[in-house]
């Protein structure tokens, strides 16, 4: 590795995966630094899982290259994979085993030295909050704790890179908060790639984000760049003498009007060439609507996807 690449733990360049004439992933590249958490975001079918399988060595790319801690994943897969911990969307746990039994098995599979296995198990349980579950059957645990077991198996050999595919799918709100906090903590000791279709999850956890659509990258920036992209796309308005949704839609062109609660609306689909705010203020005065609030609102995940995917379609 060159000096400028010394901080990289994983580098993927121009990854493409084809199934016959179908292109599942096209020209996807990413660079992961030590201690960084990158989010792969996109709707279902966007190519996230295929990308994850390629960078973990479970699926060979049709084109492109992958390097893990300076080791070519295709040329030297055994050595490169030893640097990776992976949690697929469905955790690879044996529900008939106890937590300690399972983690001991996983440690041996990862070729942890026999003298270090017990210490590795204790460290993994401590990091994932499983210490008190040591003798519990995995099948008797809640889905949230089974997910913790899945994360523990991914980090038991202390890999430099941890890759998590949809780690909060199917969890209840409290479990989601706990797993997000756990992933954030992992970012202090490992480099992490997180796949999800939940935009707030990326904003809560990640340092940077790539958004995929139809196998292509349509957005690649730090989290602050995503927040700036989301801002200015919508406004929230309130009235004393509120017009109806239909009246607002008829008087404001090229704007989507969504009711939030009584007399409060969200206006989305805004663009700088046809900003409706001045017209809205004037209409409120002329029609005696009594405008009491006009504030910027963050675009929803649906609006972000629509804009990015529409832009992508226009470019292609």
pLDDT higher than 80, residue 138: yes
Cα 149 to Cα 144: distance, rounded to the nearest angstrom: 9
Asked if the model's pLDDT at residue 206 lies above 70, the reply is yes
Q: Residue 227: helix, strand or coil by DSSP? A: helix
Residue 311, pLDDT score: 55
Give dist(CA 15, CA 210) in Å, integer.
14
pLDDT at 38 over 90: yes
Indicate whether 192 pLDDT > 80.
Answer: yes
Using the predicted structure, report yes or no on whether residue 40 has a pLDDT greater than 60. Answer: yes
Between helix 143-155 and helix 117-128 the angle, nearest 10°, is 140
Domains of the chain by range and CATH?
3-225 (3.40.50.300), 232-297 (3.30.70)
| pLDDT for res 5 | 54
The confidence score (pLDDT) of residue 75 equals: 94
Predicted pLDDT at 274: 65
The predicted-structure confidence for 96-118, as pLDDT tens digits, reads as follows 999 999 999 999 999 999 999 99
Cβ-Cβ contacts under 8 Å for 151 (sequence gap 6 or more): 87, 128, 162, 164, 167, 179, 182, 183, 186
Percent of the chain with pLDDT over 70: 90
- 3 state DSSP class of 221: strand
pLDDT at 1: 37
- pLDDT of res. 246: 92
pLDDT at residue 305, as a whole number: 72
Average pLDDT for 53-79: 95
- Average model confidence (pLDDT) across the chain: 89
Beta bridge partners of 285: none
Q: Which of 297, 301, 300 is nearest to 197 (CA)?
A: 301
Residue 316 pLDDT > 50: no
Beta-sheet pairing, 84-87 with 161-165: parallel
CA torsion angle for 281, 284, 285, 286 (degrees, to 10)? 120
């Amino acid at each position: 590795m060159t000096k400028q690449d010394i901080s990289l733990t994983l580098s993927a360049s121009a990854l493409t995966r084809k199934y016959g004439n179908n292109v599942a992933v096209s020209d996807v590249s990413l660079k992961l630094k030590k201690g960084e958490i990158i989010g792969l975001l996109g709707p279902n079918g966007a190519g996230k899982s295929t990308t994850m399988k390629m960078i973990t060595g479970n699926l060979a790319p049709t084109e492109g290259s992958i390097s893990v801690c300076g080791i070519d994943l295709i040329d030297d897969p055994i050595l490169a994979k030893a640097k990776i911990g992976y949690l697929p969307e469905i955790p690879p746990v044996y529900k008939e085993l106890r937590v300690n039994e399972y983690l001991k098995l996983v440690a041996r599979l990862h070729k942890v030295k026999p003298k270090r296995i017990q210490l590795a198990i204790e460290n993994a349980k401590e990091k994932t909050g499983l210490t008190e579950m040591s003798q519990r059957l995995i099948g008797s645990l809640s889905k949230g704790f089974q997910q913790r077991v899945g994360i523990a198996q991914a980090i038991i050999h202390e890999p430099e890179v941890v890759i998590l595919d949809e780690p909060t799918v199917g969890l209840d709100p409290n479990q989601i908060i706990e797993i997000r906090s756990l992933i954030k903590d992992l970012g202090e000791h490992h480099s992490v790639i997180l796949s999800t279709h939940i935009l707030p999850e990326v904003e809560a956890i990640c340092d940077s984000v790539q958004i995929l659509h139809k196998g292509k990258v349509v957005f690649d920036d730090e989290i602050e760049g995503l927040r700036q992209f989301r801002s200015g796309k919508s406004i929230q308005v309130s009235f004393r003498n509120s017009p109806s949704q239909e009246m607002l839609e008829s008087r404001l062109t090229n704007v989507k009007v969504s009711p939030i609660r009584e007399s409060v609306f969200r206006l989305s689909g805004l663009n700088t060439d046809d900003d409706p705010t001045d017209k809205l203020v004037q209409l409120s005065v002329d029609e005696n609507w009594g405008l009491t609030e006009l504030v910027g609102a963050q675009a929803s995940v649906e609006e972000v996807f629509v804009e990015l995917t529409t832009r992508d379609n226009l470019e292609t």
